């Protein structure tokens, strides 16, 4: 995984694609699950499906501006469906991309239509780069099929509840982003990552998993940034990405034993890139990197705290409902 992420970083920043940090983020999403990458037909099918979803996101822009209540209901249903795709059909990348199309594209398009199109171009380029990098790396470093653990599929009732819980985690930050897309756009990616992570943990683990991974990602991104300042070149950027993602991947796959779950380390790496990618672009554009970084980190921690509170509250309400006695009618 580390080589795929580093290679995707090198290509994305080397060709100056729009939103280049999306390529390593999607590389993590696509390679975190063991298995071979999709072939040519799989890539083409994924691009067509994603393009249709992202196009739907563009169509949501006038609906949000003129009929916001109806648009929010459609987004609510879409987020629920995307989580069902991730859990029930075991197609997490497809579910994540579907959710991105219904949230990031309308938010970016509310700033201006061109920005929405730019995000679509960035996402399609990022998917292509991530899968091509998988093609280049996987033949040399395939997984051992005997070591891939079988997944335990939740029941249909559990799946519906997890999908509803993830939807309620993601929706409020998305609505907040619609109020000021330029400021809160990064929170959409973070909330989607939290929603996916929220389907794999209990309320008891939520604080340590969600908040711990976010704070650790902030520390890793700061360390990465100062390491990069020793030689701010694409070559060293790629090497540092290989080192940091290699450590995260070793933890994720259990090569380096630890007490945290794979979802913890996946969320840590994704959050690190959400923080680091815009900082690199801010530096290239001559903006105040440290003020913008502090603002993004504070927003991501706030979104994480909300997700923790939402999981704890929803699980408490569910447990309380189950304990309520059933009243029998008097005859």
Residues 270 and 195 sit within 8 Å (Cβ to Cβ): no
Q: Which two tokens stand for residue 244?
A: 């940091």
Residue 97, domain extent: 2-142+154-319
Contact 213, 267 (CB under 8 A): yes
pLDDT in tens, 233-257: 999 999 999 999 999 999 998 889 8
* Number of structural domains in the chain: 1
Tell me if 330 is assigned to some domain. no
Instruction: List all residues 6 or more positions away from 260 whose beta carbon is below 8 Å from its beta carbon.
Output: 208, 209, 212, 213, 251
pLDDT at residue 203 greater than cutoff 70: no
For residue 102, tell me if it sits in a domain.
Answer: yes
Q: Residue 331 — pLDDT band, cuts 50, 70, 90?
A: very low
- In-domain check, residue 331: no
Q: Is residue 324 part of a domain?
A: no
Residue 327 lies in a domain: no
Residue 60 clears pLDDT 80, i.e. is over it: yes
Could you give the 3-state DSSP secondary structure of residue 140? coil
Is pLDDT larger for residue 46 or for residue 21? 21
CB atoms closer than 10 angstroms to residue 36: 12
| pLDDT reported for residue 265 | 92
Q: Check if the beta carbon of residue 141 is closer than 8 Å to that of residue 64.
A: no
In a domain, 149, yes or no: no
Place of tokens 């029930």: 88
Question: What is the model's pTM?
Answer: 0.88
Cα 109 from Cα 248, distance rounded (Å): 34
Cβ contact 9:241 at 8 Å: yes
Over residues 202-218, mean pLDDT: 81
Q: Is the pLDDT of residue 320 over 60?
A: yes
Q: What is the mean pLDDT of the chain?
A: 84
pLDDT in tens, 280-310: 887 777 777 888 888 889 999 999 999 888 8
Within a domain: 132: yes
Q: Which of 3-12, 70-79, 110-119, 273-282 comes out lowest in average pLDDT?
A: 110-119
Whether residue 49 has pLDDT greater than 50 = yes
| CA–CA separation, 137 and 151 (whole Å) | 25
Contact 106, 181 (CB under 8 A): no
Spatial CB neighbours of 88, under 8 Å, sequence gap ≥ 6: 156, 159
**Which residue in this structure is represented by tokens 């209540």?**
69
Task: Indicate whether 41 pLDDT > 50.
Answer: yes
- pLDDT number for residue 328: 40
Exposure b/e, 96-135, CB count within 10 A at least 16 = b: bbbbbbbbbbbbbbbeeeebbbebbebbbbbbbbbbbbbe
pLDDT at 193: 84
Taking Cα atoms as reference points, which of 184, 203, 191 lies closest to residue 166? 191
Inside any domain, residue 208:
yes
């Amino acid at each position: 995984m580390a080589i795929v992420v580093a290679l995707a970083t090198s290509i994305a920043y080397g060709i100056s694609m729009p939103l280049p940090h999306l390529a390593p983020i999607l590389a993590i999403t696509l390679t975190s699950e063991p298995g071979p990458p999709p072939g040519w037909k799989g890539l083409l099918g994924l691009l067509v499906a994603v393009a249709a979803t992202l196009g739907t996101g563009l169509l949501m822009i006038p609906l949000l501006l003129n009929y916001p209540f109806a648009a929010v209901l459609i987004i609510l249903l879409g987020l629920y469906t995307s989580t069902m795709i991730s859990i029930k059909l075991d197609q997490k990348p497809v579910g994540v991309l579907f959710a991105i199309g219904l949230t990031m594209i309308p938010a970016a398009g509310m700033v201006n239509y061109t920005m929405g199109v730019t995000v679509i171009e960035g996402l399609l380029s990022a998917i292509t780069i991530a899968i091509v990098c998988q093609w280049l790396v996987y033949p040399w470093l395939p997984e051992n099929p005997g070591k891939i653990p079988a997944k335990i599929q939740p029941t249909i009732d559990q799946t519906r509840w997890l999908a509803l819980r993830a939807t309620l985690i993601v929706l409020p930050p998305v609505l907040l982003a619609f109020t000021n897309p330029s400021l809160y756009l990064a929170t959409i990616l973070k909330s989607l990552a939290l929603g996916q992570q929220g389907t794999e943990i209990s309320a008891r683990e939520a604080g340590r998993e969600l908040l711990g991974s976010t704070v650790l990602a902030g520390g890793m991104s700061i360390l990465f940034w100062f390491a990069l300042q020793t030689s701010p070149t694409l070559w060293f950027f790629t090497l540092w990405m290989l080192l940091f993602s290699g450590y995260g991947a070793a933890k994720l796959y259990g090569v380096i034993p630890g007490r945290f779950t794979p979802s913890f380390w996946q969320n840590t790496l994704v959050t690190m890139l959400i923080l680091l990618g815009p900082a690199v672009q801010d530096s290239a554009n001559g903006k105040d990197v440290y003020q913008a970084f502090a603002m993004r980190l504070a927003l991501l921690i706030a979104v994480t705290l909300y997700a923790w509170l939402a999981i704890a509250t929803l699980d408490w309400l569910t447990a309380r409902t189950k304990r309520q006695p059933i009243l029998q009618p008097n005859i």
